[in-house]
Amino acid sequence: MSPPIAPVGWSRWLVPPAALSIHLSIGQAYAWSVFKPPLEDALGLSGTQSALPFQLGIVMLGLSAAFGGTLVERRGPRWAMTVALVCFSSGFLLSALGAATGHFWLIVLGYGFVGGIGLGIGYISPVSTLIKWFPDRPGMATGIAIMGFGGGALIASPWSAQMLESFGSDTSGIALAFLVHGLSYAVFMLLGVLLVRVPRPRTEERRAGRTTAADGPRVSARQALRTPQFWLLWVVLCTNVTAGIGILEKAAPMISDFFADTSAPVSATAAAGFVALLSAANMAGRIGWSSTSDLIGRKNIYRVYLGAGVLMYALIALVGSSSKPLFVLCALVILSFYGGGFATIPAYLKDLFGTYQVGAIHGRLLTAWSTAGVLGPLIVNWIADRQEEAGKHGAELYSTSLLIMMALLAVGFAANELVRPVHPSHHLDAVPAQKGASDVRQQQSESA
């Protein structure tokens, strides 16, 4: 499947909706919790078991993005979106079969393994193309698409709940809900597959009388791994995501614990509303902060994410339990930084490594997400459990975790400060020149 080249006069503003159709679909992953209670009741599962499909899906997201990034660059966005469509929808269909027959392992295989591959390939499928279409505003372009992943659950969560209410929460009802998901998302994602186009080659653009912005340095994905810049950004992304996901994963019990001993405790309904607010902040941050990065620069926006993030955590630790509005505000800001960090990182990679294989480089960098997805919840939950065993309660359960998150953000801030432009020796066009110079020196040595 060759990448579809846009004809002369094609509007680049048709590409973000194509990317959004993919990300809004795979963003359903954040709504998995809707299916947990029905699966536990219908199949006799524990909470840990019912989380397996989601956990495996996130692991496969990182792995497939890392190992499939180069293939996505080579085959183009239509191929990648097609693979994402087939895997993500097939995952739901396998899950439907598993629910109908009572075989939970089929749900884990379908949603977690097969669907997880669709998550990873789908997540990175439009990134390189969007950056090439919007070299003047790469942060905004990738923010529009990646916003969909953060907001997909806002659509999927009530939709899934309504289906389970209509079809029933037994195995047949769950199976029918999975089936409708698989078919519906296949149709919606197909719109993106049919709509996506890649920019015309530069020579054709010039022949057509149009100019294009510079693509930046040409650094391959393999060469990028040999640069300190890649690993510094890996640390930046990992620390920023760890800090955000630590709150996101434990949001409802955290706000309840913080105000449990006050005159105005937080009800379960209010805690659920708080989680919804965090999701909205996550989504808004992806488009808002990434667009801001086009104006003030990528390094400066990460100074905001990481530096202001330390301040937000400090405020929660010091006075968060005495002011509910302050606690909520600080958490919303942290989650907006969490979303903004995801959306801004592709543009940061483009600035440093160019557009040549930015999708493949982005895929490899997403291993930081997989690491943070384990670290954040582990830090918050493990320490809270230990503090509770020690007889502590309320906000005291999280004081140590908050200090650790502040330290991690400080490490990320330092890593961001160390980022410099990639040395020209890593550029693709520098390799032949270096090889030629080496050959000349060798010939001179032999003649001497």
pTM to 2 decimal places: 0.81
| pLDDT of 404 | 94
The whole-number mean pLDDT for each consecutive block of 10 residues of the chain, a chain of 448 residues, reads: 80 91 90 85 85 85 88 90 96 96 95 95 90 88 84 84 91 96 96 91 50 68 94 96 81 81 77 80 91 95 96 90 89 93 93 90 90 81 84 84 94 97 85 46 44
Tell me the Cα Rg of the chain.
Answer: 23
- In angstroms, rounded to a whole number, what is the distance separating the alpha carbons of residues 309 and 290? 16
For residue 320, what are its two tokens? Answer: 């968060």
Backbone angles phi, psi at 136, to 5 degrees: -85, -25
The predicted structure's pLDDT at residue 213: 46
Contact (Cβ atoms closer than 8 angstroms) between residue 402 and residue 316: yes
Distance CA 380, CA 385 (A): 9
Could you tell me if 371 and 296 are in contact, meaning their C-beta atoms sit under 8 angstroms apart?
Answer: no
Instruction: Write down the pLDDT at residue 444.
Output: 45
Alpha carbon of 391 to those of 34, 167, 263, 385, 394: distances in Å?
32, 45, 21, 10, 10
Closest CA to 312 of 244, 245, 248, 264: 244
In the prediction, which pLDDT does 295 show? 95
122 close to 359: Cβ distance less than 8 angstroms: no
